[in-house]
């Protein structure tokens, strides 16, 4: 099947720049980009379908590096900081995922909304029940999303209704991974929820699996001050929070660390040496009154930084929203620190949520931006009616899109060249 797509393409680049392909045509053959042209004679091109998106904006499918499938129904609900919020809202909601129908309905709802916001690749936590994790994979697979999903591991400091048996959950890891790891567009991710929820025995075993197999690892790190203090109490002989994961060989180039707000220079150095990936989740960090991560400081230090919605700490699945928030909180940080260097610009935030994230997930040869030979993962958006395309400069298009907070829903979304959503 050959598809011809016309519109205004915003094309993020690895050097944090954004190219504007105004009124371009992309020819898609069998899901892959075959041609990118400004002027073509339509009569001379062989295609089966023509999508003329006119003056709509087309961006690469966005990549969410950190979010929680079962928490979606709690978006915006609840109050308080991380640890009490988990106890008062989230664990109760995740416990309901032991009911099969609730888990199925909620998971379908999550993926429907995820795709509608233009996200085509996501790294996610399922609910901690084995069945809920398998349901997540089944629905992700049907949705066609490039899905990295982990069963959150929690064998201590967890309400009785959710706490896992260490030996049993290790068996569950192997059982789910055997069925779903690298099947179609799915990958199983090793997911110690965070240091406080795991015994040292469990961390040890997961570290061994991470070393022996080619898995991504995801966890939370230094999100909240009280959490950091608790980790000190529970691991008194380990120097700092980052070193807890390092002790158990959980820090690898395929490890995604969400939040990373309260890190000292030594910890930043460890993360840099281990070449881990940081998932910056500014909306969640506001909602749970956690703090502001110094994204630019980390990027300038050479760390791999991407963005995550962290629903339901975050209250919106839109990565355009998350990119905007990353810019906005960086401005507050720059005022607070009196350092202009802390400001993250829209172009950088856009690249973090597309091509840079693809590089970190080792899929940039396939997706992340529009290049010949790559798969066509894309989302089509309409600008707000207050912005007339003809009156905008090309370099204003990205901000007009990113700050269009009244409408975060895509008009159309493609994965592998297939139209998976349209409005
Ligand atoms: Zn999270």
C-alpha of residue 272 to centroid of ligand 1, in Å = 21
C-alpha of residue 220 to centroid of ligand 1, in Å = 6
Domain final position from 341, 360, 379: 360
Question: Which pLDDT tens digit goes with each residue over 216-243?
Answer: 999 999 999 999 999 999 999 999 999 9
C-alpha of residue 193 to centroid of ligand 1, in Å = 8
Question: Which pLDDT tens digit goes with each residue over 254-267?
Answer: 999 999 999 999 99
Task: Judge if 213 and 320 occupy the same domain.
Answer: yes
pLDDT of residue 115: 98
d(CA 30, CA 342): 43
pLDDT at 387 over 90: no
C-alpha of residue 201 to centroid of ligand 1, in Å = 23
Name, in order, each residue with C-beta under 8 angstroms of 210's C-beta and a sequence gap of 6 or more: 190, 217, 249, 250, 252, 254, 255
Cα atoms in the Cβ-side hemisphere of radius 13 Å centred on 210: 27
214-253 burial, b if ≥16 CB within 10 A, otherwise e? Answer: ebbbbbbbbbbeebbebbeebbeebebbbebbbbbbbbbe
On average, the pLDDT of the chain sits at 97
Task: Judge if 109 and 21 occupy the same domain.
Answer: no
C-alpha of residue 169 to centroid of ligand 1, in Å = 20
Give residue 154's domain range. 62-360
Sign of the alpha-carbon torsion through 58, 16, 40, 389? positive
d(CA 104, CA 110): 10
CA angle 151, 155, 159 (to 5 degrees): 95
C-alpha of residue 38 to centroid of ligand 1, in Å = 42
Question: Which pLDDT tens digit goes with each residue over 305-354?
Answer: 999 999 999 999 999 999 999 999 999 999 999 988 899 999 999 999 99
| CATH code where residue 205 lies | 3.20.20.140
Number of domains in the chain: 2
Task: Judge if 28 and 80 occupy the same domain.
Answer: no
pLDDT at 16 over 90: yes
d(CA 400, CA 43): 34
Task: Judge if 174 and 216 occupy the same domain.
Answer: yes
C-alpha of residue 68 to centroid of ligand 1, in Å = 6
Domain final position from 333, 360, 387: 360
C-alpha of residue 195 to centroid of ligand 1, in Å = 13
Task: Judge if 122 and 241 occupy the same domain.
Answer: yes
Structure tokens at 113: 């909304």
Task: Judge if 142 and 185 occupy the same domain.
Answer: yes
C-alpha of residue 66 to centroid of ligand 1, in Å = 6
pLDDT at 36 over 90: yes
Task: Judge if 169 and 26 occupy the same domain.
Answer: no
pLDDT of residue 213: 78
SS3 assignment, position 271: helix
Question: Which pLDDT tens digit goes with each residue over 125-158?
Answer: 999 999 999 999 999 999 999 999 999 999 999 9
Closest CA to 147 of 259, 267, 230, 65: 65
- Give pTM, 2 decimals: 0.98
Question: Which pLDDT tens digit goes with each residue over 47-73?
Answer: 999 999 999 999 999 999 999 999 999
DSSP codes, 266-287: HHHHHHHHHT-EEEE-HHHHHH
C-alpha of residue 264 to centroid of ligand 1, in Å = 21
pLDDT of residue 389: 81
Sign of the alpha-carbon torsion through 224, 229, 231, 234? negative
C-alpha of residue 394 to centroid of ligand 1, in Å = 36
Residue 212 banded pLDDT, cuts 50, 70, 90: confident
Task: Judge if 53 and 71 occupy the same domain.
Answer: no
Domain final position from 307, 335, 360: 360
Residue reference for tokens 């600008």: 383
Report the Cα 52 to chain-centroid distance in Å: 29
| CATH code where residue 395 lies | 2.30.40.10
Task: Judge if 213 and 87 occupy the same domain.
Answer: yes
């Amino acid at each position: 099947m050959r598809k011809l797509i016309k519109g205004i393409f915003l094309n993020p680049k690895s050097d944090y720049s954004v190219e504007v392909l105004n009124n371009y045509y992309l020819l898609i053959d069998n899901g892959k980009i075959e041609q990118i042209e400004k002027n073509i004679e339509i009569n001379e091109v062989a295609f089966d379908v023509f999508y003329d998106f006119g003056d709509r904006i087309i961006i690469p499918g966005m990549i969410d590096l950190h979010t929680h499938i079962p928490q979606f129904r709690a978006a915006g609900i609840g109050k308080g900081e991380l640890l009490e919020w988990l106890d008062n809202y989230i664990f109760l909601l995740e416990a309901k995922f032991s009911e099969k129908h609730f888990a199925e309905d909620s998971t379908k709802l999550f993926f429907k909304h995820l795709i509608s916001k233009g996200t085509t690749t996501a790294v996610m936590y399922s609910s901690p029940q084995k069945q809920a994790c398998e349901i997540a994979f089944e629905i992700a697979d049907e949705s066609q999303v490039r899905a990295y999903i982990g069963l959150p591991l929690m064998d201590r400091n967890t309400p009785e209704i959710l706490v896992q048996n260490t030996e049993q959950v290790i068996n569950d890891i192997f059982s789910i991974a055997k069925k779903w790891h690298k099947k179609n567009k799915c990958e199983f991710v090793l997911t110690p929820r965070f240091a406080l929820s795991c015994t040292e025995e469990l961390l040890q075993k997961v570290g061994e699996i991470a070393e022996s197999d080619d898995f991504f690892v995801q966890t939370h790190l230094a999100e909240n001050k009280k959490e950091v203090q608790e980790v000190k109490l529970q691991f008194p002989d380990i120097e700092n929070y980052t070193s807890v994961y390092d002790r158990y060989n959980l820090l690898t180039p395929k490890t995604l660390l969400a939040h990373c707000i309260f890190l000292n220079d030594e910890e930043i150095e460890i993360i840099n040496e281990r070449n881990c990936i940081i998932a910056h989740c500014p909306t969640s960090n506001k909602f749970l009154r956690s703090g502001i991560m110094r994204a630019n400081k980390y990027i300038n230090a050479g760390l791999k930084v991407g963005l995550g919605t962290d629903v339901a700490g975050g209250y919106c699945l839109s990565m355009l929203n998350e990119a905007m928030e990353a810019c906005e909180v960086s401005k507050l940080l720059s005022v607070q620190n009196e350092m202009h260097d802390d400001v993250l610009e829209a172009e950088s935030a856009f690249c973090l949520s597309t091509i840079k994230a693809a590089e970190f997930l080792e899929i940039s040869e396939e997706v992340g931006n529009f290049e010949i030979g790559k798969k066509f993962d894309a989302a089509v958006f309409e600008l707000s009616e207050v912005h007339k395309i003809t009156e905008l400069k090309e370099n204003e298009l990205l901000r007009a899109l990113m700050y269009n907070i009244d409408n975060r829903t895509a008009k159309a979304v493609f994965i592998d060249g297939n139209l998976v959503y349209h409005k």
